[in-house]
């Protein structure tokens, strides 16, 4: 599910209504957490297990890091978090690349080695939620903030759907305290949030995917020798496409969160 889809707009409208019903704060947080899992499951439901694993492991490792006074045990806990998170990220993101290079290296020694290539599917947003949980464990290692008391609050911090797939990456003090007290958007926040959502969609759909993508694709897709002006136009169009793609998505994320009463950096 992406922000620039009718499915998301319907999904967001339902969440917005539920969040403004006269329910307890805990119920609203559970609704947001379930919504975040549904949002993520729209890509590939089995990968929710990875999200759960990363969340649960780093919640308990973070608490242990904060209370542990033995420096050797503390470093061991941090290493567990780093290896677990970065190992999972490297496997899914660079597994095929590393295997291909390993095969080339082996064959360079005149060994006929051609293993079957694994069909590794990259989980959506794995880089963002991996670095989000790592921010937490590293902060706990240096005792830069207090450990999150509630698994519900920590799960929301990691999986909150506006920033889950493409950021922005947030640090615990920037978001966790907002889950600890009841909040809904006031009229100004709602209007500002809808404006930012509209602006982000404009940057993403009109500029990145529309006006700039065509120029970039035509320049980089040609096999002919191009005049310098056309080549520079392609470079600038591609640069603008990348910028407005990320900027648009991040602006949408900030706007969606603000509509719910939360402020993302």
C-alpha R_g of the chain:
22
114 or 131, higher pLDDT: 131
- The whole-model pTM stands at 0.83
Do 94 and 102 contact (CB within 8 A), yes or no? no
Tell me how far apart the alpha carbons of residues 155 and 28 are, in angstroms, rounded to a whole number: 14
In this predicted structure, what is the pLDDT of residue 113? 66
CA distance 199 to 28: 27
Length of the chain: 265
Is it the case that residue 102 has pLDDT exceeding 80? no
Q: What is the pLDDT of residues 149-167, one digit of tens each?
A: 899 999 999 999 998 877 7
Which ranges constitute the DSSP H helices of 108-186? 126-142, 151-159, 161-164, 172-180
Banded model confidence at residue 17, pLDDT cuts 50, 70, 90:
very high
Q: How far is CA 53 from the centre of its chain?
A: 16
CA 122 to chain CA mean position, Å: 13
Other Cβ atoms within 10 Å of 135 Cβ, number: 18
In this structure, the number of other CB atoms found within 10 A of the CB of residue 30 comes to 15
CA–CA separation, 2 and 12 (whole Å):
11
Look at 121 and 235; give whichever has higher pLDDT. Answer: 235
d(CA 203, CA 51) in angstroms, rounded, equals 29
Task: Calculate mean pLDDT across residues 24-46.
Answer: 90
Q: What angle do CA 99, 104, 108 make, to 5 degrees?
A: 145
- The confidence score (pLDDT) of residue 221 equals 81
CB–CB of 259/194 below 8 Å?
Answer: yes
Residue 259 vs residue 106, higher pLDDT: 259
Provide the 10 A C-beta neighbour count for residue 94. 13
Distance between CA atoms of residues 161 and 181, nearest Å: 19
Neighbours of 103 (CB within 10 A): 15
Q: Is the pLDDT of residue 179 over 80?
A: yes
Contact 137, 86 (CB under 8 A): no
Name 262's Cβ contacts closer than 8 Å, sequence gap at least 6.
160, 162, 175, 178, 183
* Per-residue confidence band for 184, with pLDDT thresholds at 50, 70 and 90: confident
């Amino acid at each position: 599910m992406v922000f620039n889809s009718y499915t998301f707009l319907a999904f967001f409208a339902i969440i917005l209504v539920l969040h403004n019903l006269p329910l307890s704060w805990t119920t609203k947080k559970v609704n947001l957490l379930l919504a975040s899992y549904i949002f993520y499951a729209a890509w590939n439901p089995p990968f929710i297990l990875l999200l759960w694993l990363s969340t649960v492991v780093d919640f308990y490792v973070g608490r242990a890091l904060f209370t542990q006074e033995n420096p050797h045990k503390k470093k061991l806990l941090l290493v567990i978090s780093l290896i677990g998170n970065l190992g999972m990220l490297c496997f899914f993101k660079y597994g095929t690349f590393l295997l291909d290079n390993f095969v080339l290296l082996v064959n360079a020694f005149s060994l006929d080695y051609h293993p079957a290539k694994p069909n590794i599917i990259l989980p959506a947003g794995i880089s963002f939620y991996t670095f989000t949980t790592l921010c937490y464990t590293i902060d706990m290692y240096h005792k830069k903030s207090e450990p999150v008391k509630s698994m519900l609050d920590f799960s929301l911090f990691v999986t909150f759907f506006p920033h889950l797939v493409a950021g922005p990456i947030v640090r615990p003090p920037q978001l966790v305290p907002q889950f600890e007290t009841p909040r809904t958007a006031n009229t100004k926040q709602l209007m500002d949030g809808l404006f930012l959502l509209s602006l982000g969609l404009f940057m993403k759909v009109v500029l990145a995917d529309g006006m700039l993508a065509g120029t970039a694709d035509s320049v980089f897709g040609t096999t002919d020798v191009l005049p310098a002006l056309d080549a520079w136009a392609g470079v600038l169009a591609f640069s603008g496409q990348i910028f407005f793609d990320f900027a648009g998505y991040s602006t949408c994320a900030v706007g969606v969160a603000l509509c719910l009463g939360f402020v993302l950096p």
